[in-house]
Copies of this chain bind each other. A is one copy, B any other.
Amino acid sequence: MASPEIEALVQALARLPGLGPRSARRAVLHLLKKRETALVPLSRALEAVEARLATCGICGNVDTSDPCAICADPRRDARALCVVEEVADLWALDRARLFPGRYHVLGGRLSALDGVRPEDLRIDSLIARVAAGGVDEVVLAMNATLEGQTTAHYIAERLEGHPVRLTQLAHGLPVGGELDYLDEGTLAQALRARRPVM
């Protein structure tokens, strides 16, 4: 049997998404064999993040500084605001480097089932950011789920009367999507939003 320290490490790793007990064990063996090139760098990286982890007071992103790197970056267009449900969504969008503006993380979606009400999300701070002025466009980048779209509708209503352009992500066929395999909802959206061929 491995020592309690090693078992504790296996268990801490096994709780990560995408890792189970078996792969955690393999990962730990790798760490033990490569102390200097794997274990120590990972340990240092964790410590560094742990010491400086912060939630951005402006947008709700998690980062190692507050305000986060995006909000602090003067090259990011402050006039465009992209509203997302979770930090993971922000990362996914920002990895693609398609959006030059800034973000606002709600921290979830409205859900009657899970008892998530507007005051549980960072909606008031979004309204305050818009009301403070300087924002021309708000992109509602909620998930294409019922709850995501309900949240988008709610925010759109709350922002009524503010002089901003409200937009949302296009719905339709995903790249590489085959009609045969797509659900009726996606097909209906794609047909409804059909565009003239250039």
Contacts and interface: CB of A to CB of B under 8 A. Distances in A.
Nearest to A68: B3
B69 A1 contact: yes
A25 interface: yes
How many copies of this chain does one complex carry? 2
Interface string A94-126: 100000000000000000000000000000000
Interface in A1-51: 1-3, 5-6, 8-9, 11-13, 15-19, 23, 25-27, 29-33, 35, 38-43, 45-50
A46 B53 contact: no
6 contacts: A2-B63, A8-B48, A29-B91, A39-B46, A43-B50, A47-B47
Interface of A: 1-3, 5-6, 8-9, 11-13, 15-19, 23, 25-27, 29-33, 35, 38-43, 45-50, 52-53, 62-65, 68-70, 87-88, 91, 94
